[in-house]
Amino acid sequence: MTLFPDDFLWGAATAPYQIEGAWDEDGKGPSNWDWRAHHTTCIAGGATGDVAVDHYHRWREDVDLLRQLGLNAYRFGIAWARVQPDGRGAWNDTGLAFYDRLIDALGEAGITPLVTLCHYDIPQALVEQGGWINRDMTGWFAEYAAAMAARYGDRVRWWATLNEPVCIADGFVPAPDDPHDLAAVQHHLLLAHGRGVQAMRAVNPALKVGLVTCLWPAHAMLGAGKAAVIGKAGERLPCADGTGDGWGAFSPDDAAEAARQADAAINRAVLDPIFLGRYPREIRDAAVGRPIHDGDMAVIAARPDFMGINYYSRVVAAPTRRPDGGIGWRWVGPAERGAPHTTMGWEIYPEGLYDIIMTVHRDYGAPAILITENGMAHADTVDPDGRIRDPYRRDYLAAHIAQLGRALADGAKVRGYCCWSLLDNLEWDMGWGQRFGLIYVDDQTLRRTVKDSGWWYRDFLRRGPR
């Protein structure tokens, strides 16, 4: 029996700063990531997105590669500074026309566009006005969202407001030192999402508007003679022993509390306000409160049409002791536990995709779910015959898609799956070298070569996913 419906969206994903390049061409304004690359040493190896993988000039080739892979969906982002250089005021017709051409070409190829309005990058001009610290940013974002809906809504049905608000707050440029500023950033991102949803629906009620967030199932870890990862259902999973680091001073209840705190910080910080209209207790009780105005939570809880899930791994949390004597938590990485992991240091844990889908489905009643990113980084190499043999990525994708089918069989309303990433690209502050792509990009020539995993994905779709 086929688990995946005929209209299931099978795609791959990218982000504008990571692939487009042309950072100052055709009227584009500087973004916060342009500023970061040019004025700080944050990005490894001095890498920049000035050229990236030159998608701005090679987009026709990239659309053709999508077609060759047999994909019927493509998730990409709009660079706000390309279409509105200052984030307010005048629009850049040349930048707008670039996305017109891309969207039209996707339509001609039978590929559904899934568009993200903010995938980490915003105009630097807005950063200089406070960026996400400034509450006015939520209104500017809503105006931008409405304009994009008006421009492209006749051809683009699926829209994500923000990509990973928790990560945007953690990687805010410049990073807020004041905890009150950080709390403002965290709140304003979700408020911008809500205002964006309202603005886009006012333009075109037929649009499907949602949010993309990275979700990590949170499991508790015990150590010092009772080393185990405690799964969601309470089962103990073996791992490397933690003897010698003091974990033995903590009880199973302490470990469970650490996992709850991790879950609140990473997952429920977004899911609770979006679906329940309130922040989780751990955030409500924090020493520094978020700057919530009357009516904010109702705006944030404007029910999304879908939840986009980026899934890469799980978090395993060990209890720690805070200065006030309470329980805190720390992330115990897979290398420390002797677990398999990617070159990003993320544990390979396919079962977590099922767990997190079912959490969003059962606990929050999401009307639809899109897996907007899922993939693995590896130090891929080109063999003498020109092939990129990456059986590890093929196995990774197959294992995760199997968990996707399991969730569908159990009633989850999953509508699509996008691999991260279509192309090898700039991995933000990690620079070059973390290769996620179905397509290999030569560092020097930018020549594209489909990896074996990309051809496997094509053949898998041709056979008919089951």
pLDDT of residue 235: 47
pLDDT of residue 176: 79
Answer whether 348's CB lies under 8 Å from 376's CB. Answer: yes
Sort 69 into a burial class: Cβ within 10 Å, 0-12 / 13-18 / 19+. Answer: buried
Q: Count of CB atoms within 10 A of residue 2's CB?
A: 11
Using alpha carbons, select from 452, 422, 418, 417 the residue that is nearest to residue 435. 422
Q: How far apart are CA 380 and CA 373, in angstroms?
A: 19
CATH number of the domain residue 384 falls in: 3.20.20.80
Q: What residues are paired with 123 via a beta bridge?
A: 31
pLDDT of residue 249: 76
List Cα–Cα distances, 285 to 136, 265, 298, in angstroms.
26, 13, 20
Eight-state DSSP code of residue 236:
E
pLDDT of residue 68: 98
Q: Is residue 111 included in any domain, yes or no?
A: yes
Which residue among the candidates 20, 164, 347, 427 is catalytic per the annotation? Answer: 164
pLDDT of residue 247: 53
For residue 148, report the phi and psi dihedrals to the nearest 5 degrees: -70, -40
Q: What residues are paired with 448 via a beta bridge?
A: 441
Radius of gyration of the chain (CA): 22
Q: Is residue 142 included in any domain, yes or no?
A: yes
Q: What predicted TM-score, i.e. pTM, was given to this entire model?
A: 0.95
Q: How far apart are CA 396 and CA 123, in angstroms?
A: 36
Q: Is residue 255 included in any domain, yes or no?
A: no
Domains identified in the chain, total number: 1
Q: Is residue 247 included in any domain, yes or no?
A: no
Q: Is residue 337 included in any domain, yes or no?
A: no
pLDDT digits (tens), the chain, 466 positions: 468 999 999 999 999 999 999 999 999 999 999 999 999 999 999 999 999 999 999 999 999 999 999 999 999 999 999 999 999 999 999 999 999 999 999 999 999 999 999 999 999 999 999 999 999 999 999 999 999 999 999 999 999 999 999 999 877 655 678 999 999 999 999 999 999 999 999 999 999 999 999 999 999 987 643 445 555 544 444 444 443 344 567 888 999 999 999 999 999 999 999 999 999 999 999 999 999 999 999 999 999 999 999 999 999 999 999 999 999 999 999 998 889 999 999 999 999 999 999 999 999 999 999 999 999 999 999 999 999 999 999 999 999 999 999 999 999 999 999 999 999 999 999 999 999 999 999 999 999 999 999 999 999 999 987 6
Write out the two tokens for 413.
């309303």
pLDDT of residue 251: 86
Name the residue range of residue 154's domain: 9-215+267-311+345-463
- Residues with Cβ within 8 Å of residue 89, at least 6 apart in sequence: none
- Residues with Cβ within 8 Å of residue 344, at least 6 apart in sequence: 312, 376, 377, 430, 434
Write out the two tokens for 455.
């051809």
Which residue among the candidates 20, 257, 347, 373 is catalytic per the annotation? Answer: 373
Q: Count of CB atoms within 10 A of residue 381's CB?
A: 10
Q: Is residue 412 included in any domain, yes or no?
A: yes
Q: How far apart are CA 10 and CA 48, in angstroms?
A: 30
Using alpha carbons, select from 288, 437, 405, 326 the residue that is nearest to residue 8. 405
- Our answer to whether residue 164 is catalytic in this structure is yes
pLDDT of residue 233: 45
pLDDT of residue 173: 57
